[in-house]
Amino acid sequence: MKTMKKQMNVVEKILAAHLVEGDASKDSELGIRIDQTLTQDATGTMAYLQFESMGVNRVKTDVSVSYVDHNTVQIGFENADDHDFLQSVAKKYGIIYSKAGNGICHQLHLERFGKPGTTLLGSDSHTPTGGGIGQIAIGAGGIDIAVAMAGGAFHIPTPKVRAIVLKGKLKKGVSAKDVILKVLEKFGTKGNVGWIFEYTGPGVATLDVPSRATITNMGAELGVTTSVFPSDKVTKQFLAAQGRAEDFVEILPDRGAKYDDTFTVDLSKLEPLMAAPHSPGNIVTVKSMKGKKVNQIMIGSCTNSSYRDIRTVALYLKGKHVADDVEVGIACGSRQVIDMLAKDGSLGILHRAGCRMLENACGFCIGAHMSPRTGAISLRTNNRNFEGRSGTKSAGVYLVSPETAAASALTGKIELPTLNPVASVPSPKKFPIDDSMFLYRSTSGKGVRAAKIVRGPNIAQVPKGEKLAETYDAVCAIKVGDKITTDHIMPAGARLKFRSNIPEYAKFVFEPCDPKFHDNCLANKTAGAVNVIVAGESYGQGSSREHAALCPMYLGVKAVFAKSIERIHRANLINFGIVPFEFVNPSDYDKIVAGEKFELKGIRDAVAGDGVFELKTKKGVIALKTRLSDREKHLILCGGLLASL
């Protein structure tokens, strides 16, 4: 990517307008100014505790919103404690607070705040939903959001930009979910670190903003930095219908703009697709699975919970009933969506069809509601089907479009939605607007308030890392395989309520892989050794949860040795002073045994120098490397971002 070209693509235009550090033509890392931030409650408490410790007295961004959508189950006091803490922080620092019950952060942000041409940083990996409205919207760890709220830059690898050229028009029964599943089929869930996907071509104009947002949302599963659509007439119409015409700016790629790579999707040829268990990259056609018995169907989540999506489901179910032996749950994305469905009769249709209408929150998507039964087949419209994420380890989750979900709900078997498709839902001319559950909106960004921060017993201190020493005695505390997700490292679901209490939450690190991990790490720590995690390809896929680095840091983990590490997790490891090493020869992974002891001799010098590190193991010397910018070196040497302040 070059900065000073005459003909620019959308990514280059937005980044050039926000560049504060680095030069895209020669540096491997760029610092960008952040206009907007979002947090959600599960990552937000840590982000705000870290923000507090930075000593800044109000947010410096144009817009910062604190959403409550993940931990809304409220069994026990913990979730409610978190909500109170978040509300009091928002009031004090000039942040907009979105109360529980208002909706899911990404859907709400798209509706009410997302602005073309701006940058958005969110403590949630699906923040790229904002790419649907022409934002450069990036997911990151909570501490990065804290820095951005304090006015600091955010750092990204200088991107390579891939054009995803859309041509043609989707046929009835095929929708945006099938488009992103096609892109996932081509590029998979690993190997895309550092890329930004820009959607372009004549087919773009045929997709409404919520459909574009479904595509950029689930771009997170590719492991890219973000995905973005241009801001065009469709964007203009959406913003006007949201009563935000003044937020529109046109951002189109210049004619002749260059890309590092191009992939074309002919929308008219696309067939309904699904991601089979247990990876969003495991794509099969719906046709090939037709007739398979299904036990559960879950519709909603930040990927497919817009009015367009749920109205489409209602049209499939109109006057009909879901099959007897399938349970169907629907979670809408926002109050606006529910309001519209209530007005046009869809809510009644869904209710009469036998669907369970759920809270407009993350719920089932994160294993916090309606976990399926043992060995179930569950069709879901959300974005991740990692093993156990639904709360039931033995369940097989298939990711599908709302159309496929609805058609299958009627028979309890996987069905092709293209056989009896419904009419497409036109973009509303005017959305009903009710911002009453966004508190402190009128005073956002305006100075310190006398508000007192409310801290219940679930709000604990944030631990700080320690300076990297020259040498450590170390133990391989766990050896895991390929594609270990942050859901393996730091489970959500029933454990989610401990997010604000690191000593408590740390008890569950690697729970699905080795429930003794916590005890073993603490025993090694007491014996004076640090812990090392050994992993295969694509370590740390999935969420932005910095707890997957913060809790291991708390347990004395100082390094990860992996075949490869995913972007957000790698950044989180660095933020918490853990060295992200990769094997120079991936086959050296086989030479280390779980429980093996070794010396990390000269690790500090390696980090400060060229990142190359030799490790003596029982099976010989192995080479590790880590490519760090000067900023990243500094963070690790200090023991992490907080310790560096």
Nearer to ligand SF4, 203 or 280 (CB): 280
* Under rule CB under 6 A, residue 126 binds ligand SF4: yes
Write down the least CB distance from residue 180 to ligand MIC, Å: 15
The entry of ligand SF4, ligand MIC, none that residue 544 binds, CB within 5 to 8 Å by partner kind: ligand MIC
The entry of ligand SF4, ligand MIC, none that residue 43 binds, CB within 5 to 8 Å by partner kind: ligand MIC
The entry of ligand MIC, ligand SF4, none that residue 382 binds, CB within 5 to 8 Å by partner kind: ligand SF4
Name the one range near ligand MIC by CB under 6 A: 221-229, 428-436, 541-549, 602-610: 541-549
Q: Which two tokens stand for residue 81?
A: 């404690």
* Under rule CB under 6 A, residue 303 binds ligand MIC: no
Residue 292 backbone phi and psi in degrees, to 5: -70, 135
The entry of ligand MIC, ligand SF4, none that residue 42 binds, CB within 5 to 8 Å by partner kind: ligand MIC
CA neighbor of 99 nearest in space, from 128, 78, 72 = 72
- CA distance linking residue 489 with residue 517, whole number of Å: 10
The entry of ligand MIC, ligand SF4, none that residue 104 binds, CB within 5 to 8 Å by partner kind: ligand SF4
Distances (CA, A) of 396 to 134, 293, 401, 489, 528: 35, 12, 16, 20, 42
Write down the least CB distance from residue 587 to ligand SF4, Å: 35
The entry of ligand SF4, ligand MIC, none that residue 545 binds, CB within 5 to 8 Å by partner kind: ligand MIC
CB 327 within 8 A of CB 297: yes
Can you state the angle between helices 567-575 and 547-554, rounded to 10 degrees?
40
- CA distance linking residue 260 with residue 231, whole number of Å: 21
Binding residue for ligand MIC, selected from 121, 294, 366, 397, defined by CB under 6 A: 366
Name the one range near ligand MIC by CB under 6 A: 53-61, 123-131, 163-171, 403-411: 123-131
Binding residue for ligand SF4, selected from 289, 302, 353, 405, defined by CB under 6 A: 302
Binding residue for ligand MIC, selected from 12, 82, 124, 178, defined by CB under 6 A: 124
Considering only residues 417 to 436 of the shown chain, the ones binding ligand SF4 according to CB under 6 A are: none
Name the one range near ligand SF4 by CB under 6 A: 157-165, 176-184, 253-261, 358-366: 358-366
* Under rule CB under 6 A, residue 68 binds ligand MIC: no
CA Rg value for the chain: 24
CB 549 within 8 A of CB 465: no
Write down the least CB distance from residue 250 to ligand SF4, Å: 29
The entry of ligand MIC, ligand SF4, none that residue 306 binds, CB within 5 to 8 Å by partner kind: none
* Under rule CB under 6 A, residue 480 binds ligand MIC: no
* Under rule CB under 6 A, residue 42 binds ligand MIC: yes
* Under rule CB under 6 A, residue 362 binds ligand SF4: yes
Nearer to ligand SF4, 104 or 636 (CB): 104
- CA distance linking residue 83 with residue 77, whole number of Å: 10
* Under rule CB under 6 A, residue 543 binds ligand MIC: yes
* Under rule CB under 6 A, residue 366 binds ligand SF4: yes
Binding residue for ligand SF4, selected from 175, 301, 392, 404, defined by CB under 6 A: 301
CA neighbor of 639 nearest in space, from 466, 407, 478, 433 = 466
**What is the DSSP code string of 552-615?**
HHHTTEEEEEES-B-HHHHHHHHHTT-EEEEESSGGGGGG--TT-EEEEETHHHHHHTTSEEEE
CA neighbor of 14 nearest in space, from 33, 28, 27, 29 = 33
* Under rule CB under 6 A, residue 231 binds ligand MIC: no
CB 372 within 8 A of CB 275: no
Amino acid at the residue 361: A
CA neighbor of 539 nearest in space, from 510, 504, 500, 497 = 510
Amino acid at the residue 188: G
CB 143 within 8 A of CB 347: no
- CA distance linking residue 602 with residue 622, whole number of Å: 14
Write down the least CB distance from residue 486 to ligand SF4, Å: 11
Write down the least CB distance from residue 296 to ligand SF4, Å: 16
Total residues binding ligand MIC (CB under 6 A):
13
Binding residue for ligand MIC, selected from 380, 479, 483, 545, defined by CB under 6 A: 545
Binding residue for ligand SF4, selected from 365, 489, 506, 529, defined by CB under 6 A: 365
Q: Output the 3-class SS for 506-546.
A: HHHCCCCCCCCHHHHHHHHHHCCCEEEEEECCCECECCCCC
* Under rule CB under 6 A, residue 125 binds ligand MIC: yes
Find all residues with CB under 8 Å of 473, minimum gap 6, and list them.
Answer: 528, 529, 530, 597, 599, 600
Nearer to ligand SF4, 216 or 301 (CB): 301
Using the CB atoms, write b or e for 500-530: b if 16+ within 10 Å: bbbebbbbbbbbbeeeebbebbbebbeeebb
Write down the least CB distance from residue 543 to ligand SF4, Å: 7
Residue 216 backbone phi and psi in degrees, to 5: -75, -35
DSSP letter, residue 384: -
Considering only residues 86 to 115 of the shown chain, the ones binding ligand SF4 according to CB under 6 A are: 104
Nearer to ligand MIC, 444 or 485 (CB): 485
Write down the least CB distance from residue 14 to ligand MIC, Å: 22
Binding residue for ligand SF4, selected from 12, 41, 81, 124, defined by CB under 6 A: 124
Residue 537 CB coordination number (10 Å) = 18
68-87 footprint of ligand SF4 as x/- string (CB under 6 A):
--x-----------------
* Under rule CB under 6 A, residue 37 binds ligand MIC: no
Strands 612-617 and 620-625, by their bridges, are antiparallel
Q: By the criterion CB under 6 A, which residues form the site for ligand MIC?
A: 42-43, 70, 124-126, 139, 366, 492, 542-545
Q: By the criterion CB under 6 A, which residues form the site for ligand SF4?
A: 70, 104, 124, 126, 301-302, 362, 365-366, 382-383
